[in-house]
Structure 1
Amino acid sequence: MRVIRPALSRRTVLRGAGAAMALPFLEAMMPSAKAADLSSRPKRLQVFYSPNGMTMPDFLPTATGADYVLPSSLQPLAPHREQIAVISGLGHPQAAAMGDRPAGHGRSCPAFLTGAHAKQTEGPDIRAGVSMDQVFAQHLGDATPLASLELGIDTASLLGSCDINYSCAYTNGISWLTPTVPLPVEANPRAVFERLFGDGDTDEAGRLAQLRRQSSILDFVMDDTRRLSGQLGMEDKRKLDEYLDATRAIEKRIQRSAASPATTQAANLQQPAGIPDDFAEHVKLMIDLQVLAMQADVTRVGTFMIGRELSNRTYPEIGVPDSHHMLSHHGNNPDKMAQLAKINRYHMEFFAYYLQKMKDTRDGEASLLDRTLVIRGSAFGDSNEHDYMDLPVIVAGGLVKGGRHSRVEKGTTMSNLMLAGLQTLGVPAAKFGDSTAPLRELTDA
């Protein structure tokens, strides 16, 4: 006689003294008849944002359809060609001045995920719109412990205006919970880890003490882990081990970073403890945390900013000693354009890393990427012109058809893409931002 065990609760966590760890999505959490059914897996949304626009000749393919050639800035995505779709011609009409004073970044950045016209203000009376990621998060409700995760590399600017006549709140992040509440971006990997797993220490002294002990959250939940492992099948045991190994590897990297002396950025701003000295390590660590959060189903919604809008970071590691923002206003100087193109390609390498991490992370018989809609873009196309009407947009993941370049009619609002994306994710939305219709280029098979 076959004994059928009840499905393991999706809310099951590993518990120990002062610690709690969510579990990855396991076969034991589903009725056996649905365990191998990909369509029963949760859908996810991830957004990858690069600041300061793009050198469009190095980004835009010249041909459309499936036979396009990857330009130099897109070449790092060659291993993922069949999982990506380039969509050109999209813009944000709401980023236009509409009678306001001149500005570029301050209007275009908040429009990127909201399709809304930002109120011109340097004060606290900011206003834009609800962003696409938060519409999806609200649709999911309390399906996950965290509604969403907003990560980045740069700490926020808090005072004054960052773009002329516009509050820094407009360029610090891209996620808006309500039209008046932007969500803060977290740049410290240790703070992210504690948000995901909550070790109970909230003050700096407690965190440093734990670092000196080099203790692991896994040590605290070891007994619960052993108990649970005895209830799992071979595939779930493998997946649990993989998840725990990834968690410990990230912990060790965070501990090394937090234990090192604080260093300075190019702008001579002191970094909080926990942020790696090395830019590439910092980016990869934040991406790994984002993927781990999805793997554990702590959240299904995430945004990642590889730099805040107006970023003045320099990149000497790739031979670019000049400021990113200054280079974005290149005045068509070939040398400056070449340096900007290097930065664009460098950022694309991290996007390729992002896709590979999701592709390598199992989700039942498939991968995280197979059930995730990924949007990669910037608030500008040609940054020298502050061109918000021809954006460098890539969509990726198994929820859309990849391996192609689609060119839409110039002037088509990006809100149409976001509306189609929400519908693909199962949100019964009829309108988003200034949308006119779902973008068929996203959904057509």
Structure 2
Amino acid sequence: MSALNRRSFLRGAAGATLSLPWLESIASAANAASPPQRLAIYYVPIGVVRRSFFPGEAETEVPKFRGFLGGKREQPDLYKPGYQPIVWTPTLEPLRKVRDHVTLITGLDRVYQNGTDVHAQCGSCFLSSAAPYEIKSSAWPLNRTLDHVVADHVGDATPFRSLEFSCNSHKDNVESIYFDNISWYGTGH
């Protein structure tokens, strides 16, 4: 067997070195073929024009606010749990272009937990996975929120694991953090 001379070694090493970035780009191109995973959640605390937003309410009477009695909802649910095809109401119509990427979830509700501010609880517990009174260390029935549960599954494949935005200035801090946050890593965070 003949010894490998320096020139042959360098020629082979140079070829291998030049191909490494090229091979890396092939792997990146293969990964880029799968569509990016995204989740956007909108919380509308002031509400929406129900007749224009919620499917099936264009011709129905606008429900009146009747509040809660002893933590129980007085008004019957308008929506049955389960998958429903999207009805393209006037407000939802602009989303029709991306309809294959949209899941509309309506009719969510939760039981109010006495002892906290109802307004702050609406926002802070909006995406929570906690049942009322499940969290013994907090008056707020919130736990890891849906956006972070999803980020646990797709966050490693996205540029940012999770992004949370707010329209509040946070300059005066008059309101508690429970008014300003719908996204939580866990109870109290």
TM-score (norm 1): 0.26
Q: Secondary structure of 1:134's partner? A: helix
| Shift of residue 78, structure 1, vs aligned partner | 3.9
Cα distance change of structure 1 residues 7 and 56 upon mapping to structure 2, 3 Å threshold:
farther
Q: Unpaired segments of 5 or more residues in structure 1?
A: 10-26, 120-124, 163-167, 182-445
1:106 and 2:120 matched: yes
- Tell me which of 120, 130, 150 is aligned to 1:136: 150
| Shift of residue 97, structure 1, vs aligned partner | 2.7
Distance 1:79 1:172 in 2: 32
Distance 2:115 2:164 in 1: 29
The structure having more radius of gyration, on CA atoms, is 2
1:175 and 2:183 matched: yes
Report the equivalent of 1:74: 92
- Counterpart mapping for 1:5-404 below 5 A: 5-6=19-20, 28=25, 30=27, 34=30, 37-38=33-34, 43-62=37-56, 65=85, 68=87, 70-89=88-107, 91-93=108-110, 96-100=111-115, 103-116=117-130, 127=140, 128-139=142-153, 146-156=160-170, 159-160=173-174, 162=175, 168-181=176-189
Residue type at the aligned position of 2:105: I
1:108-138 Cα distance to aligned partner (Å, 9 max, x none): 111211133688xxxxx66421112223334
Q: Which has the higher strand share?
A: 1
- Counterpart mapping for 1:407-422 below 5 A: none
% identity of equivalent residues? 25
Q: Secondary structure of 2:19's partner? A: coil
| Shift of residue 171, structure 1, vs aligned partner | 1.6
Report the equivalent of 2:5: none
Any conservation in 1 of the 2:36–2:158 contact (CA below 8 Å)? no
Any conservation in 2 of the 1:115–1:129 contact (CA below 8 Å)? yes
Distance 1:174 1:48 in 2: 10
Any conservation in 1 of the 2:128–2:144 contact (CA below 8 Å)? yes
Cα distance change of structure 1 residues 75 and 139 upon mapping to structure 2, 3 Å threshold:
closer
Any conservation in 2 of the 1:58–1:72 contact (CA below 8 Å)? yes
1:133-178 Cα distance to aligned partner (Å, 9 max, x none): 2233345676667532212322236545x4xxxxx21120211122
Any conservation in 2 of the 1:8–1:29 contact (CA below 8 Å)? yes
Distance 2:187 2:54 in 1: 32
Any conservation in 1 of the 2:112–2:132 contact (CA below 8 Å)? no
Superposition RMSD on alpha carbons, in Å? 4.0
Residue type at the aligned position of 2:112: A
Distance 2:181 2:171 in 1: 10
Distance 1:29 1:154 in 2: 44
Distance 1:129 1:105 in 2: 18
Q: Secondary structure of 2:45's partner? A: coil
Cα distance change of structure 1 residues 144 and 100 upon mapping to structure 2, 3 Å threshold:
same
Report the equivalent of 2:8: none
1:52-109 Cα distance to aligned partner (Å, 9 max, x none): 222222212229646x4x32322333433444343333x232xx234436x4321111
TM-score (norm 2): 0.54
Tell me how many residue pairs correspond in the alignment.
Answer: 143
| Shift of residue 8, structure 1, vs aligned partner | 7.4
Residue type at the aligned position of 1:111: C
Q: Secondary structure of 2:20's partner? A: coil
Q: Which has the higher helix share?
A: 1
Q: Unpaired segments of 5 or more residues in structure 2?
A: 1-14, 58-83
Report the equivalent of 2:80: none
Distance 1:149 1:50 in 2: 18
